[in-house]
Amino acid sequence: MVNIAFFSTKPYDRIWFEPLGEEYGYRFIFFESKLSIETVSLAAGCNGVCAFVNDNIDGDVINELADIGIETIYMRCAGYNNVDLEAAKGKIKVLHVPGYSPEAVAEYAVALLMTINRHTHRAYLRTRDFNMNINGLMGTDLYCKIIGIIGTGRIGQAMINIAKGFGMRVLAYDLYPNPSLGVEYVELDELLEKSDVISLHCPLTKETEYILDKRSFDRMKDGVYIVNTSRGGLIKTEDLIDALLVPGKIAGVGLDVYEEEADVFYEDRSNEIMRDNNLARLMTFPNVIVTSHQGYFTTEAMQAIAIETMENIFAVDNGNELVNEVKK
């Protein structure tokens, strides 16, 4: 019998996974807790765990999982920066869902960009109160502006298609340029210096951690827009805050991810004192929007995540080729 312990689950996860588990005859046990050293024992008796973006799957957790007989970690997300792959090597297989809906995330990145550019978040609040004054809400045409895409994988490509539709000029930076995309690849510094909009679509790795820091902000044009729907650790938040304080430097920032999001995102903390000073500070800027890692959250993407995860479980169960296995 295949038993999978699901961590970090919300009601909307169960909607998709429960019927599939019944259909395949697999037993799914849903826990609201994040997977961490404190909760790992909940998975005892299972063959696999299914985890999400903010679960802490470090070396200690991997060792505990292996000790209680877990053979596979199924990430129900594309990123796997929160899994210690070195520790997992030879002990536990790790699979992810790479291509469930790149469009969902790219479209959300554009939603953030359009909001910070045209200030619809502020307009909404004003008009609710019948304040129809548009002072301070002026935006900029994206047509003919330069967008710099960092990371031209699945989501980056979807973003490029949308940007081209807007009539924007695209500059791209990737460790592995893809000539078939018909975009101009440049070095990172050139992208930072020339772009009117910068959108992050690379994974969080040792190399990309703080790819946007003081040095990068100093290189950027005045009036730049920055969008991060990838991983919070790509931006050094303290340096971003300093750059936001420089008059005229940054026109707007849309963040769907944040480097210290693990304890805050997906939870209702509205009745508590916010102890994260950087997050609290970010919320004070009228030209910054922070959302709670929801770029993936569409009906199509949720359905595809569930189906692709089921295919991963089925492949392991039946000894098939593991096309979505990630290795160090």
* Catalytic center residues: 231, 261, 293
Instruction: Tell whether residue 208 is a contact of ligand NAI (CB under 6 A).
Output: yes
Cβ-contact 204, 233 below 8 angstroms: yes
Cβ-contact 195, 221 below 8 angstroms: yes
Identify the residue among 147, 202, 227, 310 touching ligand NAI (CB under 6 A). Answer: 202
Instruction: Tell whether residue 119 is a contact of ligand NAI (CB under 6 A).
Output: no
Instruction: Tell whether residue 174 is a contact of ligand NAI (CB under 6 A).
Output: yes
Distance, in Å, from the CA atom of 78 to the CA atom of 100, rounded to the nearest integer, reads 8
**Kindly report the CA angle at 201 between 155 and 229, in degrees rounded to 5?**
90
Q: Of the listed pieces 228-236, 245-253, 262-270, 313-321, which binds ligand NAI according to CB under 6 A? A: 228-236
Instruction: Tell whether residue 175 is a contact of ligand NAI (CB under 6 A).
Output: yes
Identify the residue among 40, 171, 293, 305 touching ligand NAI (CB under 6 A). Answer: 293
Instruction: Tell whether residue 229 is a contact of ligand NAI (CB under 6 A).
Output: yes
Nearest distance, CB of residue 126 and ligand NAI, angstroms: 28
Instruction: Tell whether residue 232 is a contact of ligand NAI (CB under 6 A).
Output: no
CB of 48 or CB of 102, closer to ligand NAI: 102
Cβ-contact 217, 133 below 8 angstroms: no
Return residues touching ligand NAI (CB under 6 A): 78-79, 98, 102, 105, 150-156, 173-176, 201-205, 207-208, 229-231, 256-257, 293, 295-296
